[in-house]
């Protein structure tokens, strides 16, 4: 591929790429260093595999990699865990495989790379030129057309020519990776562990770190939630001590997701979802059927509701039929 000299564009210089040596493991690649990346344009994607915002951005990141990997682009997914189970190498390896990620992934379990970039967000994209300088960044979802233009500009500056046509319309996304319905999303990310929990509606609040019988009140307001049954709530999650147990949430959004996992024994957990006391029907998510039935086998984000028609406010309920389920956080879209 011919390389030509191009003058620098108008993007500012935000600093030098920090060390990547703090990674605890690498997937799809041997360990990479800033020196080894010289003459390449680098996209750093801070993500974690249970993060809905990261998952919705992922089709674009994968699309850019496939389109420009033969034209000088290197993508590095820096996996910075939000929950303890995301530090498990086997969990991350399974997620990388299931998500079809083939570019290098650095596991940043100690947040060393995160701190080197002074990062604070999932997802976060940093655009690095062929001399190792950070030239731009973007936090959160969206801005995909502008991000691709930055990639193209940096590749052109580096001397790469005959780039394929621009355009993100080829990025296809289904299930949890489909774009959010922002016009109807009125429910916030909601953590279940007591360290960050808000709007908890069970009478008496939490009994921290001890098994306790919780009750769902007769009515829940929008964005209020409650536990039913015997649960042990710790800073990060709630663990069901005795089945059956319920979590109920009054929400206003097209999609409802819940980060869940089986307990330490790894046994599958059966569950049943309802909307306003009835089976979800056509409003079921990717991880349930029309009757609301599903099984938790892995520690990950589960899509439980995707409203198929007019989006309305509902009371969501999930009943777990087996012990030891772990529940971490609701997200919406």
**pLDDT digits 0-9 by tens, 48-72:** 999 999 999 999 999 999 999 999 9
The model's confidence at residue 9, banded by pLDDT at 50, 70 and 90, is low
The model's confidence at residue 85, banded by pLDDT at 50, 70 and 90, is very high
Look at the block and give the residue holding tokens 């030129």: 129
Look at the chain and count its residues.
Answer: 333
Closest CA to 43 of 135, 180, 122, 113: 135
What pLDDT score does 50 carry? 97
What pLDDT score does 169 carry? 58
Rounded to an integer, the average pLDDT of 272-288 is 97
What pTM was computed for the model? Answer: 0.92
- CB atoms near residue 6 (< 10 Å): 14
The model's confidence at residue 2, banded by pLDDT at 50, 70 and 90, is very low
C-alpha–C-alpha distance, residues 306 and 156, integer Å: 41
Mean pLDDT of the chain: 94
Q: Which helix (H) or strand (E) holds 3?
A: none
What pLDDT score does 264 carry? 80
Helix (H, G, I), strand (E, B), or coil: what is residue 188?
coil
Residues linked to residue 134 through DSSP beta bridges, in sequence order: 15, 128
Write out pLDDT tens, residues 238-278: 999 999 999 999 999 999 999 999 988 889 999 999 999 99
Instruction: Work out whether strand 211-214 and strand 124-128 pair parallel, antiparallel, or are unpaired.
Output: unpaired
Q: Is the pLDDT of residue 332 over 80?
A: yes
**Side-chain half-sphere CA neighbours of 135 within 13 A:** 24
Helix (H, G, I), strand (E, B), or coil: what is residue 112?
helix
Query: Do the Cβ atoms of 225 and 304 come closer than 8 Å?
Result: no
Q: Is the pLDDT of residue 214 over 80?
A: yes
Look at the block and give the residue holding tokens 């997914």: 77
């Amino acid at each position: 591929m011919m390389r030509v000299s191009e003058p620098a564009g108008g993007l500012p210089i935000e600093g030098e790429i920090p060390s990547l040596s703090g990674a605890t493991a690498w997937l799809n690649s041997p360990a990479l260093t800033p020196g080894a990346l010289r003459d390449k344009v680098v996209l750093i994607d801070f993500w974690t595999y249970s993060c809905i915002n990261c998952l919705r951005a992922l089709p674009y990141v994968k699309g850019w990699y496939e389109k420009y990997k033969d034209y000088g682009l290197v993508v590095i997914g820096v996996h910075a865990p939000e929950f303890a189970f995301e530090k498990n190498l086997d969990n991350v390896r399974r997620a990388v495989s299931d998500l079809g990620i083939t570019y290098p992934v650095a596991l940043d379990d100690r947040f060393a790379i995160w701190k080197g970039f002074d990062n604070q967000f999932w997802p976060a994209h940093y655009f690095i030129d062929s001399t190792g300088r950070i030239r731009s960044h973007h936090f959160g979802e969206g801005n995909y057309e502008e991000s691709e233009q930055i990639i193209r500009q940096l590749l052109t500056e580096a001397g790469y020519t005959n780039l394929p046509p621009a355009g993100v319309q080829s990025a296809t996304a289904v299930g949890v990776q489909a774009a959010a319905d922002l016009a109807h999303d009125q429910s916030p990310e909601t953590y279940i562990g007591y360290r960050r929990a808000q709007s908890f509606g069970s009478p008496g609040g939490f009994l921290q770190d001890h098994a306790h019988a919780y009750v769902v009140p007769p009515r829940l307001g929008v964005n209020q939630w409650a536990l039913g049954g015997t649960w042990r709530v710790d800073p990060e999650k709630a663990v069901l001590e005795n089945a059956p147990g319920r979590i109920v949430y009054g929400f206003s959004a097209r999609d409802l997701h819940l980060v869940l996992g089986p307990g330490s024994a790894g046994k599958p957990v059966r569950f049943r979802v309802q909307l306003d006391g009835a089976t979800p029907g056509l409003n079921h998510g990717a991880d349930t059927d029309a009757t609301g039935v599903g099984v938790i086998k892995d520690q990950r984000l589960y899509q439980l509701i995707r409203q198929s028609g007019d989006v309305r406010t509902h009371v969501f309920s999930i009943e777990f039929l087996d012990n030891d389920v772990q529940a971490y956080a609701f997200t919406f879209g």
